[in-house]
Amino acid sequence: MTRKECYAIVTARAKRRCERCGIRISDRRPKWHAQHAEMNHKVPLSLGGEDTPENCELICRGCHQPDGGHAPTAERMRLLRREPRGLW
């Protein structure tokens, strides 16, 4: 299955709504817009996921940004510092 075919199936299943937060989204909006439609892989391709409708979800850019390409079950690393250091 090609990525384009998978996107069409996932879009039809989601009915143009974000599958996480439920807002109405469109792929015709600019890529920087919060309501731009993006296809997310539940298991990233880099970790062995596939382009199948079962592994993909249609989400808005706002829900996709915090994801960062990590698997949902990946252990998160702790921060070393609470605030970034300035150069001043």
User: Per-residue pLDDT tens for 34-65?
Assistant: 788 888 888 888 888 888 999 999 988 888 87
**Is 83 part of a structural domain of the chain?**
no
H-only helix segments in the chain: 3-14, 61-64
Give residue 38's domain range: 3-64
- Whole-number pLDDT of residue 66: 66
**Is 85 part of a structural domain of the chain?**
no
Q: Which of 29-38, 39-48, 67-76 has the lowest mean pLDDT?
A: 67-76
**Is 45 part of a structural domain of the chain?**
yes
**Is 10 part of a structural domain of the chain?**
yes
**Is 84 part of a structural domain of the chain?**
no
**Is 12 part of a structural domain of the chain?**
yes
DSSP label at residue 82: S
Does pTM top 0.75 for this prediction? no
**Is 28 part of a structural domain of the chain?**
yes
% of the chain beyond a pLDDT of 90? 11
Are the beta carbons of 64 and 21 closer than 8 angstroms?
no
Rg of the chain (C-alpha set): 16
Q: How many domains does the chain have?
A: 1
Whole-number average pLDDT of the chain: 77
